[in-house]
């Protein structure tokens, strides 16, 4: 199943807001297909012209939201265009402007709070300097009041060796059902994302039974309904502006479950390895056994690579991470260093292919 990375419009989700209401649906489709047809630059100018017209029509609730839709999608186009052409540092500035607009104009409390978390995180690392009044932590600090003696081994998609039985007394956590014999480990936990679940597991009873016999527990990170034999993951604060990716979601869920913990982290490189996924890892981002760079860059743009790096960086401050030299060497670097390295490795110019 090919992953669809074609441009889609952004919109807010909140109780009482009907994004399928015909005028709003038409606006969404207009934004989507105008962008696919004309690209970022021309579409951005069209949307700004529409905004100027809407400003003359008054401020009813529907017109106000339609105006908002054109504005946030314009910010998204500016951000993605900067990723393609100007580079990651310029894109961060565009994203900051987007977040400021959302805080001032979104009617969704969740969307506004996510924007505040985003700017607060970036401000602590020198990427946002317009305000010092934001102080939103990346996780509820009450969750950090407890500590478990359980040792955890988080085994990632780019590990250079099979899972190390040196940590057989640990709870091993994997993000896909890797083709390794894990019977030597004391406990085994599988956490998969919604794409993998609905592509490989949904309505496949035989495969699901096989996974449940291999792992002590299977957690699915999905907002949609899933089979009751699996547990739904907890979701960190996220929205169109930014959203934690795999490692951030895993650590977040483990903190929710155990509080603070000691762990080994192996096989995570924040997308800085050109190959990125080891050959054993059953990623869905391959085409004919080759990594689809456009899918990778699209995910980094959608979730916000800098946000994810800084998010994991701060979560790791609450953990006792040991025997993880390669990982420690990365997450202790600065955000500026990370953006420079990511710019060298990933081809964000592919984002122009709509």
Domain boundary (89, 124, 159) is at 124
Note whether residue 116 is domain-resident: yes
Note whether residue 39 is domain-resident: yes
- Mark whether 157 and 249 lie in a shared domain: yes
Residue 307, pLDDT above cutoff 50:
yes
Q: What Rg do the C-alpha atoms of the chain give, in angstroms? A: 21
What's the CATH code of the domain at 193?
A: 3.90.1480
Note whether residue 7 is domain-resident: no
Domain boundary (58, 93, 124) is at 124
Residue 171, pLDDT above cutoff 50:
yes
**Among candidates 180, 144, 143, 149, which has minimal Cα distance to 165?**
180
Judge contact between 41 and 81, C-beta under 8 A.
yes
Q: How confident is the model at residue 134, as a pLDDT?
A: 66
- Mark whether 278 and 219 lie in a shared domain: yes
Note whether residue 13 is domain-resident: no
Q: Which DSSP letter does residue 129 get? A: -
- Mark whether 111 and 165 lie in a shared domain: no
Q: Rounded to 5 degrees, what are φ and ψ at 321?
A: -100, 125
- Mark whether 214 and 328 lie in a shared domain: yes
- Mark whether 109 and 147 lie in a shared domain: no
- Mark whether 224 and 78 lie in a shared domain: no
The CA distance from 199 to 192, in Å, is 11
- Mark whether 331 and 249 lie in a shared domain: yes
Note whether residue 47 is domain-resident: yes
Confidence of residue 15 (pLDDT cuts 50, 70, 90): very high
Q: How confident is the model at residue 275, as a pLDDT?
A: 82
Note whether residue 134 is domain-resident: no
- Other Cβ atoms within 10 Å of 192 Cβ, number: 24
Over residues 210-237, the mean pLDDT reads 94
Over residues 164-191, the mean pLDDT reads 95
Q: How confident is the model at residue 1, as a pLDDT?
A: 44
At 14, is the secondary structure helix, strand, or coil? coil
Q: What is the pLDDT of residues 101-118, one digit of tens each?
A: 999 999 999 999 999 999
Quick one: tokens of 221?
């990170």
Note whether residue 218 is domain-resident: yes
- Mark whether 77 and 147 lie in a shared domain: no
Q: What is the pLDDT of residues 56-87, one digit of tens each?
A: 987 788 899 999 999 999 999 999 999 999 99
Which residues contact residue 295 at a Cβ distance below 8 angstroms, ignoring those fewer than 6 apart?
Answer: 3, 5, 285
The domain containing residue 76 runs over which residues?
22-124
Over residues 45-54, the mean pLDDT reads 96
Burial of 247 by CB count in 10 Å (0-12 exposed, 13-18 middle, 19+ buried)? buried
- Mark whether 296 and 167 lie in a shared domain: yes
Q: What does the mean pLDDT of the chain come to?
A: 93
Note whether residue 12 is domain-resident: no
How many domains does the chain contain in total? Answer: 2
- Mark whether 170 and 257 lie in a shared domain: yes
Q: How confident is the model at residue 246, as a pLDDT?
A: 93
- Mark whether 229 and 196 lie in a shared domain: yes
pTM across the whole model: 0.94
- Mark whether 169 and 232 lie in a shared domain: yes
């Amino acid at each position: 199943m090919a992953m669809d990375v074609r441009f889609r419009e952004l919109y807010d989700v909140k109780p009482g807001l009907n994004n399928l209401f015909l005028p709003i649906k038409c606006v969404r489709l207009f934004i989507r297909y105008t962008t696919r047809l004309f690209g970022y630059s021309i579409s951005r100018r069209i949307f700004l012209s529409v905004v100027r017209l809407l400003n003359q029509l008054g401020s009813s609730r529907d017109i106000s939201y339609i105006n908002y839709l054109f504005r946030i999608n314009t910010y998204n186009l500016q951000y993605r265009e900067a990723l393609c052409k100007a580079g990651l540092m310029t894109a961060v500035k565009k994203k900051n402007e987007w977040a400021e607009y959302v805080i001032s104009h979104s009617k969704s409390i969740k969307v506004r709070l996510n924007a505040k978390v985003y700017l607060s995180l970036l401000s602590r690392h020198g990427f946002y300097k317009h305000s010092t009044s934001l102080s939103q932590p990346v996780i509820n600090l009450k969750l950090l009041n407890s500590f478990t003696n359980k040792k955890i081994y988080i085994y990632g998609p780019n590990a250079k060796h099979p899972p190390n039985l040196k940590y057989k007394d640990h709870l091993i956590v994997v993000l896909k059902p890797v083709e390794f014999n894990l019977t030597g480990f004391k406990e085994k936990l599988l956490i998969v994302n919604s794409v993998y679940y609905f592509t490989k597991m949904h309505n496949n009873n035989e495969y699901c039974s096989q996974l449940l016999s291999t792992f002590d527990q299977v957690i699915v990170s999905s907002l949609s309904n899933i089979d009751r034999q699996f547990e739904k993951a907890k979701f960190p604060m996220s929205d169109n502006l930014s959203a934690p990716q795999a490692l951030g979601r895993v650590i977040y869920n483990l903190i929710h479950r155990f509080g603070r913990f000691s762990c080994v982290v192996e096989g995570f490189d924040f997308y800085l390895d050109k190959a990125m996924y080891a050959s054993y890892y059953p990623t869905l981002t391959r085409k004919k056994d080759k990594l689809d760079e456009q899918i990778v860059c699209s995910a980094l743009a959608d979730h916000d690579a800098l946000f994810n790096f800084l998010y994991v960086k701060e979560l790791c401050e609450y953990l006792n991470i040991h025997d993880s030299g390669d990982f420690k060497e990365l997450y202790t670097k600065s955000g500026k260093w990370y953006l420079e390295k990511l710019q060298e490795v990933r081809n964000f110019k592919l984002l122009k292919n709509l």
